[in-house]
Amino acid sequence: MRMSQEFEAIKAAFKEQFGTRIDFLRDKEVYSTPLFKFLRSLPKGADLHAHADAILPIADQVEFLKDHPELVITPEWQIHYSGVGAPYGSRTMEECLAEGLTVEDFRKYWTVLGAGDQRTWDWFEGIFIKCGSICTSPSLVQDYYTRVLKYYHSIGVEHLELRCPFFGTREDALARGEALLRALQAVRAEVDPAITLRIVACGGKNDVWDPLFDTLMENALYVREKVKDGDENFIVAIDIVNDEDRSYSLARYEDRVRKIIAENPGLHLTLHAGESLSGENGEIAIALRCGIERLGHGFNLYRYPELEEEVRSKGICMEICPVSNAALGYCADFAKHPASDYRKAGIPLVICSDDPAYQAEEPLTGDLLAVAVGWDLSLEDVRQLCRNSIEYSFLEPASKSRLLDYWEKAWDKATS
């Protein structure tokens, strides 16, 4: 009781100072508030929607690069594997820092902060091009995700469902899958035996990803068959990503997705759909036809009352990424974020981080803060959202109930 009153007090103080339009990249003071610190310390369950290689906070990314001189930074701020093909003038992170560059300089180029007058999505996709080569070898994958899982553990997150494409040959895909599993095993052994990681294998809808769709899915299924976490699947679901207002429609992939799901019992489906302000965007309807169990974003669902009812009656969980929605220009004021009404209508929600490396200071805490303040949530509401993140995860029943037990005890301890 005392804790929930205290929560109301620090939430009110936060709202007084910052209102409900919070800029998680510019308002540095947010991070030293009692509300942020409190939410940071809470056991949060899981992050069910975060994209590969876009997770480590910028300072940690700089640190990672410093530890890996096999990666260099080109004069265009692109991370590149050193050696053959590295453009003239490329430097290691150590050299960049020695020459006076700081974390803040990299923040300008590698987060949406640098977008300026450019359309945010264009700049944002450019960051993936600049930073997309950070995990170019299995050992880099292993080290990056060891750090990612340790980071999540440090902020009370015990399970990650990572959106990850499997580019390259089958062997490349397998090596990446095995490296991800090794990272999980290392963090379990070293830090926390309870931590879990599962992979949502991604295809994509833009011109770069589209020709590779079948390969990406075949690779994913190959890795699913070969890489297991004990006797449980490691690759648990598929998804299709990219800016949907300018990419191909999900309709282009519908038959193939349905076939993959039909032929692979137990493989889950969550699709990015409705990440749009448009009212003439039928993506959610197609996602529902494909048989999604969770909906990635679903931001514009309010425009389609019948679909909203379908999502509600089927108990489909929506993956809401508030900080990302703000960073990419869908919603500036969290009090007006439409998912507040989805929650009130009885649709189960989980709060997720999307691409925290490029959109915020760190994963997930800001997302919970945004909705706690914007939707005026009680501590009990926050508890329910955290609980949902385990309940609606794609973990198999034994792991799910183990994690729920673990989380419930941790929550009671943290809030008693």
Residue (143 or 354) nearer to Zn ion, CB: 354
Contacts of 381 by beta carbon, 8 Å cutoff, 6+ apart: 372, 375
Nearer to Zn ion, 229 or 354 (CB): 354
CA atoms of 67 and 56, how far apart (whole Å): 14
Say which DSSP state 194 is in. Answer: T
Q: Which helix (H) or strand (E) holds 269?
A: strand 268-273
Q: Which residues pair with 92 in a beta bridge?
A: 72
Closest distance to Zn ion from the beta carbon of 354 (Å): 5
Cβ proximity to Zn ion, 62 vs 202, nearer residue = 202
Return the residues of window 345-364 that contact Zn ion according to CB under 5 A. Answer: 354
- Number of alpha carbons in the 13 Å side-chain half-sphere of residue 385: 33
Residue identified by tokens 């299995």 is 138
Distance from C-alpha of 344 to C-alpha of 169, rounded to nearest angstrom: 46
- Shorter beta-carbon distance to Zn ion: residue 24 or 222: 24
Q: How far apart are CA 288 and CA 258, in angstroms?
A: 11
**Considering only residues 145-164, where is the footprint of Zn ion by CB under 5 A?**
none
Is the Cβ of residue 158 or residue 243 nearer to Zn ion in the bound state?
243
Which residue's CB is nearer to Zn ion, number 62 or number 320?
A: 320
By beta-carbon proximity to Zn ion, the closer residue of 43 and 298 is: 298
Q: What single string gives the DSSP state of each residue in 4-21?
A: HHHHHHHHHHHHHHHTT-
Residues in CB range of 92: below 8 A, 6 or more apart: 65, 66, 69, 71, 72, 73, 82
Size of the site for Zn ion (CB under 5 A): 1
Q: Using CA atoms, how far apart are residues 87 and 75, in angstroms rounded to an integer? A: 8
Residues recorded for the chain: 416
Residue nearest to Zn ion (CB): 354
Applying CB under 5 A, which residues contact Zn ion? 354
